[in-house]
A and B are shown apart, each in its own frame.
Chain A
Amino acid sequence: MVATILRLRLTTTIHQLRREWWRMLMLIGGAIWTLSLLPSVAITARALALRTTGVRTDAYTAIVTVLMIGWVVVPILIAGLDDSLDPARFASLGIGIRRIMPGLTVSAFLTIPALFFLTALFVFSTSWLPDGGEVFAVALAGALLSLATMILSARVSVMWIARLLQSRRSREIAFLVTLVGVFLLAPLASIVLADGLETILEYDATPILDSIRLTPIGAPIGAASAASAGQWSAVWWRLALSTGWVLLLWLTWRVNVKHVLVHPISRGGGTKAREDSMLAVALRVENRSGRPIGRWVGRWVGCPPRAVVAIRARAIRYWFTDARYLAAILSVTVFPVLFFFLVYPAFGSPVAVVMAVPLLLAGTIGWGRHNDVAYDSTALWLDVVAGRLGRAVMWGRTTATLVWAVPVVGAGIVAALVIGGRTDLAPGVIGASLGVLGTSLGVSAITSVVLPYRAPVPGENPFSAQVGSIGAGLFAQAISSLASWVVAVPVVLPLVAALAWDASWGWVGLVTGTATGVVALVLGVRWAGTLYDRRSGRLVAAVA
């Protein structure tokens, strides 16, 4: 069975490579890049071999902790990296958990990142050689356990988050828990890190690293350092702790896979019933002033208002209930939250960097929509068949994004101004952020119609890589990010002037930035709509 699953994985990869030669390039590029990192790994190992045991232990604990966090967090932040075998695909084959688990486990360890980390950790453990052969053996065992922990943690975290986002009830609970967590932890982190990173490194680092070595994450390193000190009982219990943790992770993964094998997303058996909110929204809009309120907007943007209301209502429904859209909101908000509540209090930042965060937030939100149309998958046939609704579709989708994007960017602006302490830069930052949001959304509207590529289908793992997406996707992403940067430059200039010279440049930025943002958005959406109509016969095939 293991061999069958590995062969399945190999065959899928070969077919993918044959179908898209871009993927082969990426594979080779990735391999070369990882190989180029090996010399620095070797140099680090050599350097640490020459240091005292204490320094070596602390350094390795820190390194391993960072790598562990990376393994858990990166697959979630950067969607499209998880190209492992999705257990949900085995659901219809009727394979039991006992037969499939060994194959999945082995295949998880045979990925390029896993092999690279295996080599890197092996090289790291050679720096324990000077202390003796047995210490090296312990270090090697510890390295293998660390690798297993990293890989299994990644598997478990991706599956958990995907499951969380896909189940309606747990999603609401998770959102509440995260909100409470952020509001509790953020002030705590600010207080703890208030004295700055240097004091922490000076006084608190060693105790923190020591306590990490008591946890399963740092236990392998602790085992190696205990071995070099000759405390063999300590070695055994640390290795046992590590092994136990690996087993626990593997069992958790197994439980998840077992659940996924018999609970396919598409056969949920819905119990939640809701009224027709589509019609309710339409009637509300119609009755507001006796005639469709969007009529003047419609004439402005050039599209039928009732269709816009319907499409916007539909898009908002998807934004707040579909796992893929929620994953997009999640990945956009993680960086600013981390920055304001962890990085800034710890390291401090120049004012320019702090003020740039809401701009980056706005730009990321806008760029993230560069493949927006493809998220409908082939369901967009309903929009295509109903007439020439290109502008209505793009306007409805864009305004639905604005519904959550504007408050989020607003929160980012407030956070930057309050935490950065420069409220006199407010007009500049507001103008630049709104401008960047508007221009990047406008550019994204155009690229999502002109360069669509396959996005995760409803019900799929929102973090998985898509067949057919790499070549077209890379090209579309490159073009859209380049265009976003170019169009954003004039919007950001007044803020730069306000930072460099005189804060009253900010008022210029407020006016020009907001105006540019709005105009770019409207023009971009109009043009995207026209292109949508022109390309309507190719869209279904492009996103299938």
Chain B
Amino acid sequence: MPVDAPALSLVGLHKRFGRTIAVDGLDLDVPTGSLYGLVGPNGAGKTTTLSMATGLLTPDAGTVLVHGTDLWKDPDHAKPMLGVLPDGLRTFDRLTGAELISYSGLLRGMNPATVEARRDDLLAALDLEVYSRILVTDFSAGMNKKISLACALIHAPRVLMLDEPFEAVDPVSAGAIRRILSSFVASGGTVIMSSHVMALVERVCDHVAIIGGGRVLAYGTLDEVRAGTDLEDRFVTLVGDVGEHRDLTWLQQS
């Protein structure tokens, strides 16, 4: 495989739900060794795209290539390369934090001794040691995100697909996660993350793609997409501002 082959290649992805077209011919190439940000308004199709790219949702049309391997035709080779953190899905909350991470490792066929060592590393790195013996059902939303991230990391994947990884995560943990992702990328891994928060994407990512209406509206390195202005301004220009500015005068306190 050529060294500069993209880590993830989405070619012509289509998905419709009833009458709504969620993803409309989406093409994207994510270079290896990049921290790629996917931004877009609510309902743009980010989560649907990431679901199709991780094997959770069958695309109506299109191909997903992970380091050149077709995900849907050859999942045995493609899925071990992926680490997935989805958004808005439940977890096995009758297990404790430590058990959930161990479960994720054992599912991948890892040696239990390795699983144990890595699980302890992850719990320490993500500041979850105190909660390792508590059931996941008693976790807060941020802890849920962190434990799911740990589940995505345990098998040392080559490509990480993270849907809103920093949502509800406190700044200290966010810093820890940023460090983990940066060193992962520096060593040759690839991270694709989606977010609403422009400041976060500007700070963390080196590449970005703006998605709207089920299509990629702009993509490239951060500077290319920003094109001299703020990322948020470029985003609003491409996606369009709120139609009508209405003042909620009855909400004013005086």
Contacts and interface: CB of A to CB of B under 8 A. Distances in A.
Given A268-B138, A306-B110, A314-B92, A387 B103 contact: no
Interface string B71-96: 01001100110101010111111111
A43 B104 CA distance: 64
A307 interface: yes
Nearest to A284: B112
Given A269-B138, A386-B104, A275 B109 contact: no
A444 interface: no
Given A387-B75, A540-B89, A274 B94 contact: no
A395 to B, nearest CB: 13
A321 B89 CA distance: 21
A311 B107 CA distance: 8
A77 B43 CA distance: 41
Interface in A367-387: 376-379, 381-387
Interface in A299-327: 304, 306-307, 309-311, 313-314, 317-318, 321-322
Interface of B (DSSP majority class): mixed
B9 interface: no
Interface stretch (B50-58, B164-172, B196-204): B50-58
A283 B133 CA distance: 18
Contact of A385 (B79, B90, B132): B79
B54 A385 contact: yes
Interface in B6-32: none
Contacts of B107: 306-307, 310-311, 382-383, 386-387, 389, 392
B206 interface: no
Interface in B36-73: 51, 54-59, 72
Contact of B94 (A283, A321, A386): A321
Contact of B102 (A270, A282, A533, A538): A282
B98 interface: yes
Given A282-B102, A314-B92, A270 B84 contact: no
Given A269-B138, A388-B76, A537-B57, A377 B90 contact: yes
A278 B76 contact: no
B86 A381 contact: yes
Nearest to A267: B138
A340 to B, nearest CB: 32
B92 A381 contact: no
B106 A278 contact: yes
A318 B94 contact: yes
Contact of B95 (A278, A304, A385): A278
A283 B82 contact: no
Contacts of A459: 137
B222 interface: no
Contacts of B80: 387
Given A266-B137, A381-B86, A381-B89, A540 B106 contact: no
A251 interface: no
Nearest to A282: B112
A348 interface: no
A382 B134 CA distance: 19
A378 B102 CA distance: 19
B57 A540 contact: yes
Interface residues of A, number: 50
A203 to B, nearest CB: 52
A274 B102 CA distance: 14
A279 interface: yes
A218 B164 CA distance: 61
A458 interface: yes
A484 B121 CA distance: 48
B102 A279 contact: yes
Contacts of B99: 276-279
Contact of A279 (B79, B116, B138): B116
Contacts of A381: 56, 84, 86, 89
Contacts of B59: 537
B82 to A, nearest CB: 7
Contact of B55 (A266, A283, A537): A537
A61 interface: no
Contacts of A269: 138
Contact of B138 (A270, A283, A388, A540): A270
A541 interface: yes
A273 interface: yes
B90 A458 contact: yes
A306 B95 CA distance: 17
B119 interface: yes
Interface of A: 266, 268-270, 272-279, 282-283, 286, 304, 306-307, 309-311, 313-314, 317-318, 321-322, 376-379, 381-389, 392, 457-459, 533, 536-538, 540-541
15 contacts: A275-B98, A277-B99, A278-B98, A278-B106, A376-B92, A377-B90, A379-B93, A381-B86, A382-B91, A386-B79, A387-B76, A458-B93, A537-B55, A540-B57, A540-B89
Given A276-B132, A379-B92, 16 more contacts: A266-B137, A268-B138, A270-B137, A282-B115, A306-B106, A310-B102, A318-B92, A379-B91, A384-B56, A386-B79, A386-B108, A537-B55, A537-B58, A537-B59, A538-B58, A541-B57
List of 4 A-B pairs having minimum Cβ-Cβ separation, nearest first: A537-B58, A270-B138, A310-B106, A273-B133
